[in-house]
């Protein structure tokens, strides 16, 4: 059953019920008594019930009217809360932003930006999923993350990929390794080294394998680990060397590890902010997105030599 009424009719009903008077309710609503009566009649006709008992001396709710009043008040309160909630979101007062990103982004990009964001919008919660490149992409595609920081996704039709940082791969090794003082290393220089790699399921492994497809001399994998953090732990323990993204060995990581840029071929990956095409972000998510974009572009402008610092 479709009932033909609008919010004005419900507000009129509540006003009459609370004032027990059409005259006083009409004055409160800045309506004529005849206009107010038509709204109540329209509501009663649509519901098929009498909401008020009317006499020349008083207006009183029927039993059905009393039950209906409770429901209408609850509905109007809920609607008001919803409207205020949207206003709060638009004003960045409440809400949750969900971000998915590869682990290196958590380490290097998020702390300063999230600290600034939290100081500006203390009631906005931020949920961070630090996952593999494929998982980050899947979370954004599924709508479970508002946006992501990733180096894959540009090839996806449903993804908008905004490049913001180009990162070079380096050979990670202990500082006391014989190759640690070199400014660059050819891949052929790594032949014979105990080479540690991320697993084939890793996005980083895919980038490296694609670049080395036509290279005759490159190291054989001695040990595989699922994540770059595990690879670096083994490197720090002196178990071997590993090709990793340059951000992995920037200052802030263990002082015992150094990264030397690899050449012939030089391998790069481009980090970008990814979002689902045609998805409209909530204001708070859009603000954090823009803050991260600005921060990552600023980092990109720093001298490339920073990636070689120990």
Q: How does pLDDT run across 200-210, given as a tens digit for each residue?
A: 888 888 889 88
Query: Which residues, given as ranges, of the chain have pLDDT below 70?
Result: 1-5, 80-94, 250-254, 297-310
Classify the C-alpha dihedral 248-253-254-255 as positive or negative.
Answer: positive
How do 257-263 and 268-276 pair as beta strands? unpaired
Question: What's 280's DSSP letter?
Answer: -
C-alpha 263/C-alpha 168 separation (Å) is 10
> What pTM value is reported for the model?
0.61
C-alpha 21/C-alpha 33 separation (Å) is 10
pLDDT at 87: 52
* Main-chain phi, psi angles of 26, to 5 degrees: -60, -40
pLDDT at 309: 44
All CATH 1.10.10.10 domain ranges in the chain, comma separated: 7-88
Task: Kindly state the percentage of the chain with pLDDT values over 70.
Answer: 87
* Main-chain phi, psi angles of 31, to 5 degrees: -125, 160
- Considering only the top CATH level, what class is 95-163+270-308? alpha beta
- 3 state DSSP class of 54: strand
Contact 235, 174 (CB under 8 A): yes
- Which residue do the tokens 């670049």 mark? 211
pLDDT at 307: 42
pLDDT at 306: 45
Architecture of the domain made up of 7-88: Orthogonal Bundle (1.10)
pLDDT at 152: 86
All CATH 3.40.190.10 domain ranges in the chain, comma separated: 95-163+270-308, 168-268
- Residue 174 bridge partners (DSSP): 257
pLDDT at 1: 45
What CATH number was assigned to the domain covering residues 168-268? 3.40.190.10
């Amino acid at each position: 059953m479709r009932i033909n009424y609008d919010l004005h009719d419900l507000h009129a009903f509540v006003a009459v019920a609370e004032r027990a008077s059409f005259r006083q309710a009409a004055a409160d609503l800045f309506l004529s008594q005849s206009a107010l009566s038509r709204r109540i009649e329209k509501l009663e006709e649509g519901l098929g019930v009498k909401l008020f008992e009317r006499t020349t001396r008083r207006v009183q709710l029927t039993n059905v009217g009393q039950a209906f009043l409770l429901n209408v008040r609850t509905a109007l309160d809920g609607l008001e809360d919803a409207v205020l909630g949207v206003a709060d979101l638009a004003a960045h007062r409440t809400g949750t932003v969900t971000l998915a990103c590869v682990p290196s982004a958590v380490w290097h990009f998020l702390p300063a930006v999230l600290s600034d964001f939290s100081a500006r919008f203390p009631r906005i919660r931020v949920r961070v999923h630090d996952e593999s490149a494929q998982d980050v992409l899947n979370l954004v595609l599924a709508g479970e993350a508002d946006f992501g920081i990733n180096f894959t996704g540009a090839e996806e039709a449903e993804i908008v990929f905004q490049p913001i940082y180009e990162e070079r791969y380096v050979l990670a090794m202990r500082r006391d390794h014989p190759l640690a003082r070199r400014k660059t290393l050819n891949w052929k220089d790594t032949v014979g080294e105990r080479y540690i790699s991320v697993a084939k399921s890793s996005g980083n492994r895919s980038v490296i394998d694609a670049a080395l497809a036509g290279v005759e001399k490159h190291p054989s994998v001695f040990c595989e680990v699922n994540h770059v953090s595990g690879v670096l732990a083994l490197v720090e323990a002196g178990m071997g060397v590993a090709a990793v993204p340059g951000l992995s060995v920037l200052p802030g990581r263990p002082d015992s590890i150094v990264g030397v840029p690899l050449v012939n071929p030089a391998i790069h990956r481009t980090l970008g902010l990814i979002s689902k095409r045609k998805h409209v972000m909530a204001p708070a998510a859009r603000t954090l997105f823009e803050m991260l974009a600005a921060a990552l572009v600023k980092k990109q402008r720093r001298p490339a030599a920073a990636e070689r610092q120990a």
